[in-house]
Amino acid sequence: MNITLQTPTFHEGDLEQPINHDIRMFRKSLDIIETYHDPFLPNDIEVPSHVQVWHGYPERLGYPEKPYENNRFTDEEDMTPYDDYSPHKARTIAVQMARATNAEWLKEEVSMEFHRQERQPYEDIGTLVGTLRKGNVDPDLKEKIEPALKILGSSVDLLSIEGERQAIFRFEYHGLIKNKFGMSCWTQTLIRDCGVECDNVIFETGFRKRDPLYDGGFPWYGMC
């Protein structure tokens, strides 16, 4: 709160003003520091009564200069001129570029190779979990859980029913990633309400790990 907006203890020209000032100066000069207990802090913490009013940190006018030698992929003429921007604009553009193109100093092939290596163990083993491949679906079980599928609508597609007990359901999930865990738990409840045993529900999203249309991610691996 701005202290100038508060009602002053003494109005301008009050006779008690100089006397009160002398008393405050004398009390501040004592060796014993007057303290009080803040109700929002633990009882064993004593807060000094006479402290300077804090108006916040001074506004930062610039960032310290740093070398750009770590940037090995972007040509010098293509570099973003962050030094010519204000701190706020420089940080805003840096965040936008980091979220939009996954860092300007990385080539597209880097992301592609990363996702290829991440997928390789599934390709070597040939497992369905972790992929969008369709597997075996028991028609009778699918018919039993049809009420749950109608409620879920176009947000999921049934991929397969796994396990010895046929109680693990795999779906391709098209909704928001932030709702993925909650939707899978709800789907498990819907399947059980249909009278079908359900040990687990797996929502497959492929390479999609974020919501690029909402957080500015790179759409290549964000929407596949």
Q: Report how far apart, in Å, the C-alpha atoms of 4 and of each of 8, 9, 53, 168 are.
A: 8, 12, 11, 66
Q: Is 201 helix (H, G, I), strand (E, B) or coil?
A: strand
The pTM (predicted TM-score) of the whole model is 0.49
Residues 6+ apart with CB under 8 A from 26: none
Per-residue pLDDT of 177-198, as tens digits, reads 889 999 999 999 999 999 999 9
Beta strands in the chain (DSSP E): 35-36, 47-48, 156-162, 168-173, 200-204
Question: 């409620």: which residue's tokens?
Answer: 151
Q: Is the pLDDT of residue 222 over 50?
A: no
How remote is the C-alpha of 66 from its chain's centroid? 27
Per-residue pLDDT of 5-50, as tens digits, reads 677 777 788 888 888 888 888 877 776 677 888 888 888 888 777 6
- When mean pLDDT is compared across 32-41, 55-64, 80-89, 101-110, the lowest value belongs to 101-110
